[in-house]
Amino acid sequence: MEETVEYVQATGLLSSVWLLVAIPLASAAVLLLLGRRADKWGHWLGVLAVGSAFVLGLSYFISLAGMENKSVELSLWDFIAVGRFQVDFGLLFDPLSGVFVLLITGVGSLIHLYAVGYMSHDEGRRKFFAYFNLFVAAMLLLVLGNNYVMLYFGWEGVGLASYLLISFWYTKPSAATAGKKAFLMNRVGDAGLAIGIFIMFATLGTTQYVDVFNGVSGLAAGTILVLGLLLLLGAAGKSGQFPLQAWLPDAMEGPTPVSALIHAATMVTAGVYLIARSNPIFSANHTLQTVVVSVGALTLLMGCIIGAAKDDIKRVLAWSTVSQIGYMFLGVGLGGAAYALAIVHLLAHGFFKANMFLGAGSVMHGMKDQVDIRRFGGLSKYMKITWLTFMMGWLAIIGMFPFSGFFSKEPIIVAAFEREGWTAWLFGMAALLGAGLTAFYMTRLFILTFHGPKRWTEDIEHPHESPAIMTIPLILLAIGSVGAGFLLSTSVPDWLEATGGLGAQEEPHEAVLSHGVLTALSLLLTVAGAGLAYLLFRNGTAKQEQPAGVVVTAARRNLYSDTVNEAIFEKPGIFLTRALVYLDNRGIDGAVNGLAAAVGGGSGRLRRLQTGFVRSYATSMLTGALLVVAAFLAIQLGWLA
Amino acid sequence: MTPDYYLVLAAILFTIGAVGVLVRRNAIVLFMCIELMLNAANLTLVAFSRITGTLDGQIMAFFVMVVAAAEVVIGLAIIMSIFRARRSASVDDSNLLKY
Amino acid sequence: MAGVNNFPFLSILTLGPLVGAAVVACIPKAKGNLAKIVALAVSLVMLVLSVFMWVAFQVGGDAQRFQFRESYPWIPGLGVNFTFAADGIALVMLMLIAVLVPLVILASWHDAEQSRRSVPVYFALLLSLEACMFGVFAAADVFLFYVFFEVMLVPMYFIIGSYGTAKRQYAAVKFFLYSLVGGLFMLAAVIGLWVVGGKTFDWVALTQIDIQTGTERWLFLGFFIAFAIKAPFFPFHTWLPDAGGAAPAGAAALLVGVLDKVGTFGILRYCLPLFPEASQWFAPWAIALALIGIIYAALLAVGQNDLKRLVSYTSIAHFGFIGIGIFAFTTQAGTGAVLYMLNHGLATGLLFLVVGMFVARRGSALVSDFGGAGKLVPVLAGVLFFAGLASLALPGTAPFVSEFLVLIGVFTVNKTVAVIATLGIILAAAYVLWMVQRTTQGTLNPALADIEPMRKDITLREKVVVAPLIALLIVLGFYPKPVTDVINPAVEATMQQDMGKQDPAPTGGGVTEASR
C-alpha cells in the first residue's frame, strides 16, 4: 500500500471554502459584540449563518463530486513560520471532510432552528446562539484543516464552545462544575494530541496531512505506536471514550439542543474523525489498531451497562452516545473497509441521536423540565409528534430493519468478526452483546417515557406538544433516521474511497461466522433485548430509586469511574496543592523571611554596642587605633614575613 | 640634643591625654585631655619637621591648632548648654544618644 | 529609509517619558486630573513613536541585526557609553511597553485617589518607570543596562510602597531587596566581564572575546542569578506573589507584564551570547528550575485564594515556559520564548487589569469574597474569562502560538522536558477555570449584591482599556507572522551565530519538507 497522497490547489468555487468557517464565526462575533442590541433578532442571525453554511457546503460538495482529484487544499496564510516549522492556515476539502461539513451544518441547522423555540423563554438566547455559532465555526475548522495544527486549533475551539454551552446556565453550580470537568478532561486528551503533533514534527519535520501520511511508512514501528496512542488519547478525550468518558454524561447539564448537537451528533465524533483522518498512521501498526478496537469494545459495553441503570432521560441518551461512539471506534480500529463503515454509523448516529435528544428536549419542554423517566409514562397520547419521531430514533438506534441503525451498525459487527484469530470472537461477541443491551436500555427508556401508567409529579396536568418550530426539525430528523442508513451505507463507502489515504484496502479475513448468520443473530438479540425491556417495564416502574444488586448499583455510579478519578486525581491533587501552598509560604518564603528575621535580630543585638557613653566610644577608638598601629608595626618590622 | 626626646615627650603627653579621656568623667577635664593629645600630635609633627628638615610638619601643626581652636569653641558651647540643662558636667550623665 | 533609521528613536523613547515625569511631578496635588491627562498624552506620544519605529525597522534580506544604534560617551575613562540599539527581540519588548503603559495609565485613573498620597506623583512614577523600562531594553552597553536594571526598581518601589494594598510596605521592601541582591551578583559579574573583556562595556565587543571556562561559568552565574530572581524562576519566586498582590492592579500588570521580562530578556541577550559555553553547561540546571516552576507554580495557583496572587503564580508558571524555551537553543523554542514574552505581557496584563476592575468594585481581592459575579457584571466576567483563556493558551489567542512553538522546539531536543511541560497546560486549564468558576459562576454571593459598585458593569473607560488588548490577542492568535518575522532573525542570530547551535533535523522518515 505504498500509494502517495496528493492534494490539489483549490480553484473556482472551492477557493471560497473558507467562508464555511468565516460565516458562523462572524455571526458569533456580531452577536457577542452587539450585546443586548441584538437580542430581538440575534437567534435568526445564528440560524441564517448555519443555514447559509449548509447551502455553501452543499454546493462545494456537489462541485467536489465532479472533480478528478477529490482532495482540494486551500492555503489562506502562513500561520506559524519559524525555521523548519512551517504551518499554513490551510483548509482541505475532501470527501471525508465533505460529509462532516454536511453533517455539521445540516443537522446543525435543524438544531439551531429547534433551539429558537426551545430557548425562547431564556433571556440569554442571543448569547446561546453566539456560542452555538462559535461551535459550528470551530467544528468546521476542525474537520477542514489541512494540517494537524489546524485540527488542534479547531479541537480546542470546540472544547471551548462545549464548555461555554455546558455551563450556559452558569448560576447553577452543577452546570459550572460540569463545564469545567468537560474542559479539563478534554485538555488531558488535548495534551496527548499536542504531544502527538510534536512527535510528527520531530520525526517528519512537518504537520501537514499530506506530508505526514506520505512519510509515516518510513517511521520506526515504536514511534508509530506511540504517536498513534497519543492521538488515541486525544480522540478518547473528545469522544468520551474509556478512560476519559466521565465528562460526557455530566455535560448534559447544558441546554438540550447543546446535548443534541455537540454531545451527540458532532463534537463527540471528532475523535472518530481524527482516527479516520489519520488512518495511514493507524493502519501502519497492527497493535495500535487492536488498542483502538479494545477501547471501542470496552467503552461500548460500559456505555450500555451504565445506560441501562440510569433514570435521567438525557443521561441515558448520553451513555448511549458513549456506547455508540464505541461502535465507531471499533469500526475505525478495524481499519480497511471498516473505516468507511464507522463514518456511515457516525452520520446515521448523528441523525437519530440528534432526533432523540431533541425529542427528549420536547418532552422536558412539556413536562416542566422534568428529566426523570420514572416520573414520565403515557406521554404518547399527549405528544403525538414527539412520540412518533422518538420512535423512529429508537428503532434506528436499536438497529431494527429497515431503520438506519440496521444498515450502519450491523456491518461493523460483521467487520469485527472478520478479524483474525480469537480476537474476532472477542470483539465480535462484544459488538453483538452491545446490540442486545442497546435494544434493552433504549426500549426501557422509550416505554417508560411514552407508555405505561402515568407517574407524573403533581404539578403537571396536561403536558403539551411543542410548537412547530421545534417539531419540524424533529420530523426532518426522524425522516433521516428512517432513510439515512440505507442511502448512506450504499453511497458513502464509495464516496470515501477518494479520500487521500482512506482508500487503502486490506483484504479482509474470512468472517468466522457467515454474514447471514450474523445478521440473524444481531436481529434476534435486538428483539430479545427489546422484548425483555417491554416485559419488565410495560407496567411502569417505581417512582423512587430502589435498592439494587451490585451490578446495578455500580452502573448507577457510572461503574465507579468518577470515584476512581476522585480517588486518584482529585483528592491527591487537592492535597498536593494545599501541601505546596504550605511549603511555599512556610518553606521557601519562610526561609527568606527567616533570613530577614535573622539579619534583623542580629542587628538588634549589635546595636546594643551603641551605649551612649562617650568614654566607651573613646575606648573602642583607642583600641582600633592601637590595632592599626600594631598592624603597621607588624608589617614594618617584618613579623609576618 | 636629639629630636628623639621630643618624640618621647609627645608619646608621654599623648598617653596622659588618652588615659585622662578614658578615666575622667568631667567634660571639661576630658576636653583638656583631648587638647593634650592634639598638642602631643603637634609636637610630633614639629619634631619630625625638624628631623626631616622640611616645613611641612610645622604648617600641619598650625592647621591642627586652628582646627583645635574651632573645636574648642563648639565643644565648650555644647558643654555649656548641657550643663545648663542638666546641672552636671559629667559625660556619663548624658548618654541619650544611644540605640 | 536611511534617514528614518538614523532618527534617534531609542534615546527619545527613554528621555521622553522622563521629561514627562518631571512635568507631571510639578503639577500641584489639587490638579490630579491635569496630571492624568498629561501622563496619558506623553505615553500616547511614545506609543505613536514606537509604531513609527516598528515600521522603520527593517526585516529580511540584508537587514542589520541591531538597528537604530546611537552612542554617546558617558564615562570615557571606564569605556562606558550611552549606547542604544534594538534587535528584533528588544523591538518587540519596546512595543509591548509602549502599548501597555497608556492602557495602564487609563486603567489606574482612579487608583491613586484611594490612597492619601499625591495623584500627580503616582503618574509621574509610572512615566519614569516607562522611561527605565525603555532604557533597559534599548541599552546595548552592559554598564548602561546594569544601571537601568537597578534604577528601574526605584519607581516601582515607591508605587508599591505608597499606593499598594494592605501589605504594601512588606511587599515593596521584599521586592526591592530581592532585586538588589540579584543586582549585586550582576554588578560583580559586570565588573568581572569588564576586566576580562579588555576594559569595555560594549556588547558587540564583549561577544567577540574568549573567556576561560571557569571564569565564564562564574560570570554566567552572576548574570543568571540576577535574571532568575527578576524573571522569577523557582526558587527565587516568592517576592512576586507578594509584590503582585500588594501593587495596584495597573502597576502589577507592568510589573509582571514587562519588568519581569527583563529577566528572561537578559538571559537571552546577555547570558547566551556573552557566555555561550557556560550557557550550555548550565542549561540542564536552568531547564530543571524552569520545569519545576511550570508545575509547581501552576499547582500553587490552583490553591490561591487571592486573585492577584493567583495571577502572579500563573505568571511564574509561564516564565517557566519561557525559560525552557530559551535554554532549548532551537529556533522554534527561542522564537516561541520571545513571542511568549510579548503574549504573556498582553494576556497577563489584561488579566491583571480585569482583576483590578473586579477588586476596585468589590474592595477585596479574595476569591471567596466573590461568587456568581457573572450575574451582576456579565461583560466584565466575560472579559475575565477571555483573559483566562488567553492565559491558558487557547488556540485563537496569541499565547497559543508561543506556547506551541516553545513546546515543539523543546520537544525536538528533549522529549521528557517537553512532555512534562505539556502537563502544565492541563494545570493551566485547572487554575483558570477554577478561578473563573469561583468568582463569576455558581450561585450569587448575597454579600456581593449589596455592594453598589458591583452592580455597575464595565464602563466606557474600562472598555477602552481592554478592547485593544483583546483585539491584539486575537489578531496575533490568528496571524502572528508580523511579529515572528521580526523576532526570528534575532533569535536565529543568537542561537546560530552566538551559540553555534543548529536546529536538529527531523529524525525519521524518508520524506522531508522538500516535498512541499
Asked if chain B contacts chain C via 3 or more Cβ pairs within 8 Å, the reply is no
Q: pLDDT grade, residue A584 (50/70/90)? A: confident
pLDDT of residue C515: 38
Cross-strand pairs, C18: none
Where does the pLDDT of residue A501 fall: very low under 50, low under 70, confident under 90, or very high at 90 and above? low
Burial B32-44 (b: 16+ CB within 10 A, else e): ebbebbbbbbbbb
Minimum CA–CA partner of A183 in chain C: C429
More confident residue, C155 or C455: C155
For the stretch C270-302, pLDDT in tens is 999 999 999 999 999 999 999 999 999 999 998
From CA A5, how far away is CA A504, in angstroms rounded? Answer: 11
CA–CA distance, A278 with C97 (Å, rounded to integer): 44
Mark yes or no for CB contact B91/A608 under 8 Å.
Answer: no
Instruction: Calculate mean pLDDT across residues C487-506.
Output: 86
Phi then psi for residue C164, to 5 deg, are -85, -170
Closest CA to C254 of C161, C379, C125: C125
Residue among A607, A610, A615 whose CB faces B91 most closely: A615
Of A545-559, A602-616, C108-122, C423-437, which gets the smallest average pLDDT? Answer: A545-559
Q: Enter the C-alpha cell of residue C429.
A: 486549564
Q: Is the pLDDT of residue C401 over 70?
A: yes
Whether A406 and A349 have beta carbons less than 8 Å apart is answered as: no
pLDDT digits (tens, 9 = 90+) for A435-483: 888 988 889 888 888 888 888 777 777 778 888 888 888 888 888 888 7
Q: Does A577 lie at the interface with C, CB-CB under 8 angstroms?
A: yes
Q: What is the pLDDT of residue A507?
A: 55
| Per-residue pLDDT at A551 exceeds 90 | no
Query: Which DSSP category does A586 fall into?
Result: I
Query: pLDDT at position C505, please?
Result: 83
Q: Report how many Cβ contacts below 8 Å link chain A to chain B.
A: 29
Q: Are A384 and A466 in contact (CB under 8 A)?
A: no
Q: Are residues A614 and B98, on separate chains, in Cβ contact within 8 Å?
A: no
Q: Check if the beta carbon of residue A226 is closer than 8 Å to that of residue A166.
A: no
* d(C-alpha A288, C-alpha A161), whole Å: 31
- The cell numbers describing A147, all together, are 494540517
> Residues of A at the B interface (Cβ-Cβ below 8 Å)?
607-608, 610-615, 618-619, 622
Separation between Cα atoms, residue C258 and residue C239, nearest integer Å: 16
| pLDDT above 70: percentage of residues in chain B | 99
Beta bridge partners of A547: none
In the numeric block, which cell numbers belong to residue B22?
578614658
pLDDT at A626 over 60: yes
A578 touches chain C (CB under 8 A): yes
pLDDT-derived band at A152 (thresholds 50, 70, 90) equals: very high
* pLDDT one-digit tens code per residue, B42-55: 999 999 998 888 99
Quick check: helix, strand or coil at residue C423?
A: helix
Least confident window among C56-65, C143-152, C383-392? C56-65
Q: In this complex, do C411 and A201 lie within 8 Å of one another by their Cβ atoms?
A: yes
Of the two residues A560 and C419, the one the predictor is more confident about is C419
What pLDDT shows up at residue C90?
Answer: 93
User: How would DSSP label each residue in A436-451?
Assistant: HHHHHHHHHHHHHHHS
Does the beta-carbon distance from A180 to C379 stay under 8 Å? Answer: no
Instruction: Categorize the per-residue pLDDT at A1 as very low, low, confident or very high, splitting at 50, 70 and 90.
Output: very low
Asked whether the beta carbons of residue C437 and residue A176 sit closer than 8 angstroms, the reply is yes
Q: With cut-offs at 50, 70 and 90, classify the pLDDT of residue A640.
A: low
Residues 362-381 of C with CB under 8 A from A: 372, 374-375, 379
CB contact under 8 A, A219 and C389: no
Q: What is the DSSP letter of C496?
A: I
- DSSP secondary-structure letter at C470? H
Instruction: Test A204 with C433 for CB contact under 8 angstroms.
Output: no
Q: Under CATH, to which class is B3-98 assigned?
A: mainly alpha
Decide if pLDDT at C112 tops 80: no
Mean pLDDT, residues C177-202: 90
pLDDT at A385 over 80: yes
Size of chain A in residues:
641
Q: Cell 522538500, residue?
A: C514
Give me the residue spans of the domains in chain B.
Answer: 3-98
- Give me the sheet containing A85-93, strands edge to edge: A8-9, A72-82, A85-93
Residue A607: list chain B partners with CB under 8 A: 99
Q: Where are the beta strands (DSSP E) in C317-415?
A: none
| % chain C with pLDDT above 70 | 97
> Which helix (H) or strand (E) covers residue C24, if one does?
helix C9-26
C-alpha cell of B72?
574648642
Stretch C219-245: mean pLDDT:
91
**From CA A58, how far away is CA C475, in angstroms rounded?**
30
Separation of alpha carbons A442 and A481, rounded Å: 15
Cross-chain Cβ contact A622/B30 below 8 Å: no
A189-199 per-position pLDDT tens digit: 999 999 999 99
Q: Is pLDDT at A380 greater than 70 in this prediction?
A: yes
- Interatomic CA distance for residues C397 and C391, integer angstroms: 9
**pLDDT class for C387, splitting at 50, 70, 90?**
very high
Average pLDDT over residues B54-65: 92
d(CA A52, CA A59): 11
The pLDDT tens digits for A249-284 are: 888 888 988 888 888 888 888 999 999 888 888 888
* A347 close to A103: Cβ distance less than 8 angstroms: yes
pLDDT at A500: 60
C-alpha cell at A96: 471525508
Q: Helix and strand tally (H, E) in chain B?
A: 3, 0
Q: What is the pLDDT of residue C64?
A: 83
Lookup: cell for C84 = 542604544
CB within 8 Å of A92: residues ≥ 6 apart: A7, A71, A72, A73, A74, A144, A145, A146, A209
Res B1: pLDDT: 61
Which range is most confident: A33-37, A57-61, A531-535, C503-507? A57-61
- Euclidean distance between CA atoms A596 and A234, whole angstroms: 49
pLDDT of res. C2:
46
Q: Is the ipTM of this complex over 0.85?
A: yes
Give the C-alpha separation, C423 to A191, whole Å: 7
Please judge whether B92 and A613 are an interchain contact, meaning their C-beta atoms are less than 8 angstroms apart. yes
Nine cell digits for residue C389: 483563556
Question: Best interface-test mutation with A: which of B90, B91, B96 has the largest number of A CBs within 10 A?
Answer: B91
* 8 Å CB contact of B91 and A612: no
Mean pLDDT for the stretch of residues A125-144: 92
A-C contacts at Cβ under 8 angstroms: 191
Closest CA of chain A from C313, distance in Å: 11
CA distance C337 to C339: 5
Numbered residues of chain B with Cβ closer than 8 Å to any chain A Cβ? 18, 21-22, 25, 30, 91-92, 94-99
Q: Do A82 and C300 touch (CB under 8 A)?
A: no
**C223 or C116, higher pLDDT:** C223
Place of cell 463545564: A179
If contacts are CB pairs under 8 Å, which of residues 49-68 in chain C contact chain A?
A: none
Alpha-carbon distance C121 to C23, whole Å? 10
Element (H, E) at C397: none
pLDDT of C40 over the 90 cut = yes
Percent of chain A with pLDDT over 90: 21
Residue corresponding to grid cell 591625654: B17
- Closest Cβ opposite residue C510 in set A82, A172, A218: A218
Contacting residues of A for C181, CB less than 8 Å apart: none
CB-based contact C439:C370 (threshold 8 Å) = yes
What amino acid occupies position B47?
A
Residue type (1 letter), A345: H
Q: What is the mean pLDDT of chain A?
A: 86
Measured CA to CA, the distance from residue C282 to residue C228 in angstroms comes to 13
Q: Which residue of C has its CA nearest to A134?
A: C396
- CB of A476 within 8 A of CB of A114? no
Query: Residue B54 to residues A463, B50, B66: CA-CA distances in angstroms?
Result: 124, 7, 21
**C-beta separation of C166 from C246 below 8 A:** yes
The Cα of B21 is separated from the nearest Cα of chain A by a number of Å equal to: 7
Cβ contact C418:A195 at 8 Å: yes
pLDDT value of residue A159:
92
Instruction: Flag whether pLDDT at A510 surpasses 70.
Output: no
CB distance from C170 to chain A under 8 Å?
Answer: no
- pLDDT for A509 equals 62
- Tell me how close the Cα of C466 comes to any Cα of chain A, in angstroms: 13
Q: Are A450 and A390 in contact (CB under 8 A)?
A: yes
Q: What angle do CA C98, C99, C100 make, to 5 degrees?
A: 95
Query: Cell numbers 554617546 label which residue?
Result: C72
β C67-75/C80-86 pair status: antiparallel
Q: C-alpha grid cell for residue A18?
A: 473558507
Average pLDDT value for residue range C57-80: 86
Which chain B residues are within 8 Å of A608, Cβ to Cβ? 99
Half-sphere exposure of C383 (CA within 13 A, CB side): 28
Instruction: Pick the closest to residue A528 from A623, A458, A439, A403 (CA basis).
Output: A439
Contact A618 B21 (CB under 8 A): yes
Distance from CA of C336 to the nearest CA of A (A): 9
Q: Which of A150-159, A549-558, C206-215, C454-463 has the lowest mean pLDDT?
A: A549-558
Q: Does residue A555 surpass a pLDDT of 80?
A: no
Tell me the three cell numbers of residue A591. 526561609
pLDDT of residue B89: 83
Nearest CA distance, B43 vs chain A (angstrom): 19
Interchain CB contact of C302 with A (< 8 Å): yes
Region C357-372: mean pLDDT is 87
- Please report which helix (H) or strand (E) contains residue A312, including its range: none
Measured from the Cβ of residue A592, the count of other Cβ atoms closer than 10 Å reads 18
Contact at CB, B91 and A613, closer than 8 angstroms = yes
- Note the pLDDT of residue A25: 94
A:218-247 residues touching chain C, CB 8 A cutoff: 218-220, 223
Q: What is the pLDDT of residue A505?
A: 53
CA distances from residue C231 to A244, A494, C4, C318 in whole angstroms, order as listed: 36, 58, 34, 10
> Looking up cell 465533505, which residue turns up?
A98
What pLDDT does residue C3 have?
A: 53
Cα separation of C387 and B26, whole Å? 75
In the chain, the amino acid numbered B91 is V
- pLDDT one-digit tens code per residue, B63-91: 999 999 999 999 999 989 988 988 888 88
Give the Å distances, CA to CA, from A623 to A617, A628, A629, B22, B39.
Answer: 10, 9, 10, 12, 20
**Contact (Cβ atoms closer than 8 angstroms) between residue A313 and residue A363:** yes
If you average pLDDT over each of A204-208, A615-619, B11-15, which comes out highest?
Answer: B11-15
Neighbouring chains to B with at least 3 Cβ pairs closer than 8 Å: A
CB atoms within 10 A of CB A606: 10
Helix (H) or strand (E) holding A80: strand A72-82
